[in-house]
Amino acid sequence: MMDVASRAGVSQATVSLVLNDSPGVRLSDATRERVRQAAEELGYKLVRRGQRRAPADQNLIAFIADEMATDPWMSIAFDGAREKALEYGLTVCLTVTRGDPDAEAMILSQMGQQLLGIIYGTTLTRRAEPSPALFKHRTVLLNCYDGKRKLPSVLPGELVGGRVATERLIQAGRKRVALINGQEGLDASRDRLKGYRQALASNDISFDPALVRPGNWEPSSGYEMTQLLMALDSPPDGIFCANDMMAVGCFDALRELGLKVPDDVSVVGFDDREIAQFTRPPLTTLLLPHYEMGEIAAELLIDAAGGLKGGPTQIKVECTLVERDSV
Question: Do 85 and 36 belong together in one domain?
Answer: no
Spatial distance between the Cα atoms of 295 and 26, rounded to a whole number of angstroms: 13
In a domain, 51, yes or no: no
pLDDT at position 13: 65
Question: Do 147 and 88 belong together in one domain?
Answer: yes
pLDDT tens-place string over residues 196-210 = 999 999 999 999 999
Question: Do 164 and 267 belong together in one domain?
Answer: yes
CATH at 307: 3.40.50.2300
Question: Do 273 and 183 belong together in one domain?
Answer: yes
In a domain, 37, yes or no: yes
- Region 44-69: mean pLDDT is 73
Nearest to 197 by CA among 145, 150, 162: 162
Give the lowest-confidence range in 52-66, 100-114, 140-154, 197-211: 52-66
The confidence band for 312, taking pLDDT boundaries of 50, 70 and 90, is confident
Where are the extended beta strands (E) located within the chain? Answer: 60-65, 91-96, 115-128, 139-146, 153-156, 177-181, 212-214, 238-241, 266-268, 285-286, 314-317, 321-322
Please tell me whether residue 217 adopts helix, strand or coil conformation: coil
The confidence band for 23, taking pLDDT boundaries of 50, 70 and 90, is low
Question: Do 183 and 272 belong together in one domain?
Answer: yes
pTM: 0.83
> Domain range spanning residue 130?
60-155+291-319
Asked whether the predicted pLDDT for residue 161 surpasses 80, the reply is yes
Asked whether the predicted pLDDT for residue 291 surpasses 90, the reply is yes
Number of domains in the chain: 3
**DSSP per residue, 228-269:** HHHTSSS--SEEEESSHHHHHHHHHHHHHTT--TTTT-EEE-
pLDDT at position 100: 87
Question: Do 74 and 162 belong together in one domain?
Answer: no
Question: Do 173 and 79 belong together in one domain?
Answer: no
Question: Do 143 and 181 belong together in one domain?
Answer: no
pLDDT at position 20: 72
**DSSP per residue, 97-129:** -TT-HHHHHHHHHHHGGGEEEEEEEEEEEEEE-
Spatial distance between the Cα atoms of 114 and 160, rounded to a whole number of angstroms: 39
Residue of 9 and 211 predicted with greater confidence: 211
Spatial distance between the Cα atoms of 107 and 112, rounded to a whole number of angstroms: 9
pLDDT at position 11: 66
Question: Do 36 and 100 belong together in one domain?
Answer: no
Asked whether the predicted pLDDT for residue 171 surpasses 60, the reply is yes
In a domain, 47, yes or no: no
